[in-house]
Every structure is written in structure tokens, then in C-alpha cells.
Amino acid sequence: IAGITQAPTSQILAAGRRMTLRCTQDMRHNAMYWYRQDLGLGLRLIHYSNTAGTTGKGEVPDGYSVSRANTDDFPLTLASAVPSQTSVYFCASSDSRGGHNEQFFGPGTRLTVL
């Protein structure tokens, strides 16, 4: 693969269930990010990781957790899903060590919580 992948592509989930969204990149980027995108609100940062082993909270972290055990993977977990977490979730990565450091985005996961 080349770039950044996410799984699943879409998911319908019952409220109260636990769900992990997967994200993998093969560009050896040090930084990774999780966003949610809602109509009229744009992309909002949930959590981020500047390097393997470290994570930080973004603008809307409540109800979500992340881990960064290695460079390539950055899973996002919803411990107990609620309907307000219905959204499109994008994972992104960047190399903050030089250049523009633009973020590259995965294809997204469309999540519906009922």
C-alpha cells in the first residue's frame, strides 16, 4: 500500500457499544491525527500524536481514546458510543521534521450510531 488507510469504510453501531476505528500509514510519518467532519462544522481535531508513544487531546476529545504503540498505527476507540458521535472520521498523518508538513488524509470512516 502507499499512503494512509482506514477501516472500516462505514459502520452502523448500536448506542452503548464499543468501537475501534483503525488507521495505518506507510509513509513513516511521525505525526498522526484523528478528525471528525460534520455538516456545517468542518473538520475538528479529536486526538493527535506527535510521535510514537505520545498522544494529545484536540478540540473534541470527550468520549474518544487513542493509542500510538508504533509509528504506523493510530487506532481511535469509542468506549460507549452515543448518537452524537455519528459522523465521518478522518485519520491523517504528517512529517513534522521538514518541508510544508502538510497532512495527508485517509479515505474516512462513515459511522452511524443508533
Partner 1 sequence: GQNIDQPTEMTATEGAIVQINCTYQTSGFNGLFWYQQHAGEAPTFLSYNVLDGLEEKGRFSSFLSRSKGYSYLLLKELQMKDSASYLCAVRDGDYKLSFGAGTTVTVRA
Binding site for partner 1 (CB under 8 A): 31, 33, 35, 40-45, 48, 50, 58-59, 90, 94, 96, 100-108
Q: Give 13 or 43: the residue with its C-beta nearer to partner 1.
A: 43
Smallest distance from the beta carbon of 57 to partner 1, in angstroms? 11
Smallest distance from the beta carbon of 109 to partner 1, in angstroms? 11
For strand 56-57 and strand 76-78, is the pairing parallel, antiparallel, or unpaired?
unpaired
Phi (first) and psi of residue 79, to 5 degrees: -70, -40
Cis peptide before 8 (omega within 30 of 0): yes
